[in-house]
Amino acid sequence: MKHLALYLLAFWCYISQTQAEFFTSIGQMTDLIYIEKDLVKSLKEYIKAEESKLTEIKSWAEKLNQLTHISTSDPEGYLGHPVNAYKLMKRLNTEWLKLESLVLQQTSDAFIANLSIQRENFPTDEDESGAGKALMRLQDTYRLDSESISKGRLPDPTHLRAQSNLHYFKNFLHEEGQSDQPANEDYYQSQSKEEVYMRPENYLTERDSYESLCRGEGIKMTNRRRGRLFCRYHNNNNHPRLIIAPMKEEDEWDSPHIVRYHEMLSDAEIEKIKELAKPRLARATVRDPKTGVLTVANYRVSKSAWLDDDEDPVVNRVNQRIEDITGLEVDTAELLQVANYGVGGQYEPHFDFSRKEEHDAFKELGTGNRLATVLNYMSDVPAGGATVFPDFGAAIYPKKGTAVFWYNLFRSGEGDYRTRHAACPVLVGSKWVSNKWIHERGQEFRRPCGLTEVD
């Protein structure tokens, strides 16, 4: 056992130096479940071997205890029998050495060997710390009391929806009397957009709005505006592939216009995309606005992978479907990005498009700015994980197999700063998404330029 303790001490020192970030992807964390199961099996085998060894040692001890009781009661009389004298010599010269070997036998060798193999896949101190911070983030964002979260009593989806509805009805009468113009649009059009969104004093206001929307509060959708939202069959002006099987299109927001496409991905397609992406998942990065270099950031907790268009028929088919539905050229788009969010996984408010101060953000691509975003939801999320837009108070909830679409740029090429959005922390479940960022080049005749800045 002394050897085992020393080995475990060295083992824990070693794993603290290995690569971390298991906590950033639930999909990869599932591997740890099977690693632990294998170690438990190995540990049980070790315990069984130890118990067998102890049983044999106890048998020796009981037998020798009886012999020594007899021999010590009359040592000379006992040794007066030649057979007893011979057996004593034999026991001390041979059998006690066998017992020594039995006691020193390392039945834990198989367990230690397995532990040594598996340790390279273990999480590190950084993972434990990251998971702890994630719990604190969930507690803060969703206003959970310490007792509830420590005992695992977390709200379900109906809780979040109920909060949303309650807030909506409380504000219904007040908002019905206001202008029919969508919230913040007048203010947006009359201000310098870079100044409005980049002022440091606006961060806390945006943070409060972001977290409120994550909780299902503060959604700015009046009945009048809701009446402008419709569901329809979408064939994109009689596109050949959509005439017979049009897409189910649902308005999620009026201005800026955000739509959801139902049955965008089948379960089989989703599983194939996850299968292709999982071995390549790596910590998601963001572009430093000052240097333009991709870097890891604490405000984006997820892992992602990029899938080439032609590496599998499923990826090619999904890309073609995106082009058919949006009517936009995808040859100049970025590769399909697949992301899986970890414990408390989130992506705080950000823009998909590059701003004026980011001159070389997409220079290496040579395809212009990110014109539009297609976000595929590849899993249901029992609680949390909504896509929210703090500027105009929208919250869009994940629904497996659907996709949401919006434009990041006006027809003039100017960025629509209202589209600053965030991925709320995942409270319960594993969130899988994939997205396609469609760029400006190739859209000259598919989405012609407008005549004013906000066309």
106 vs 99: CA distance, rounded Å? 13
The predicted-structure confidence for 202-255, as pLDDT tens digits, reads as follows 556 888 999 999 999 989 988 888 999 999 999 999 899 999 999 999 999 999
| Mean pLDDT to the nearest integer, 52-71 | 91
Look at residue 116 in the predicted model and tell me its pLDDT.
81
Q: What does pTM read for this prediction?
A: 0.74
Q: Does the pLDDT value for residue 454 go beyond 80?
A: no
Angle 102-107-111 (CA atoms, 0-180°, nearest 5)?
170
Task: Report pLDDT digits (tens) over 81-108.
Answer: 777 877 888 888 888 888 888 888 887 7
Model confidence band, residue 293 (pLDDT cutoffs 50, 70, 90): low
β-strand pairing of 426-428 with 432-439: unpaired
Q: What 3-state class would DSSP assign to 188?
A: helix
Each residue's pLDDT tens digit, 383-392: 999 999 999 9
Q: Return the domain boundaries, the chain.
A: 2-123, 139-439
| pLDDT at 296 (0 to 100) | 64
pLDDT in tens, 255-272: 999 999 999 999 999 999
Percent of the chain past pLDDT 70, that is, above it, reads 79
pLDDT for position 333? 97
CA torsion sign for 179, 185, 186, 187 is: positive
Q: Any idea which of 9-18, 51-60, 139-148, 339-348 has the lowest mean pLDDT?
A: 9-18
Q: Which of 170-179, 269-278, 400-409 has the lowest mean pLDDT?
A: 170-179
pLDDT at site 190: 36
Q: Rounded to an integer, what distance in angstroms lies between the CA atom of residue 365 and that of residue 367?
A: 5
- Residue 298's pLDDT is 66
Ranges 206-210, 434-438, 451-455: which has the least confidence: 451-455
pLDDT of residue 128: 79
When mean pLDDT is compared over 144-153, 258-267, 299-308, the highest value belongs to 258-267
Q: List 421's β-bridge partners, or say none.
A: 350
pLDDT digit string (tens) for 158-199?
A: 434 334 333 433 443 344 444 444 444 333 333 344 444 445
Does residue 51 register a pLDDT over 60? Answer: yes
Instruction: Report the topology of domain 139-439.
Output: Jelly Rolls (2.60.120)
Instruction: Locate 182 and state its tokens.
Output: 């969508």
Q: Assign 153 a pLDDT band (cuts: 50, 70, 90).
A: low
pLDDT at 307: 97
Which range of 225-239, 317-331, 416-430 scores highest in mean pLDDT? It is: 317-331
Specify whether the CB–CB gap between 424 and 317 falls below 8 A: no
Residue at 181: amino acid letter: Q
Cβ neighbours of residue 319 closer than 8 Å, sequence gap 6 or more: 309, 330, 333, 336, 436
In angstroms, what is the C-alpha Rg of the chain?
32
| Closest to 164 measured CA to CA, from 403, 362, 396 | 396
The predicted pLDDT at position 151 comes to 63
DSSP letter (8 states) at residue 356 = T
Q: Could you tell me which residue, 129 or 292, shows the higher pLDDT?
A: 129
Specify the DSSP element, H or E, that contains 14. Answer: helix 2-15
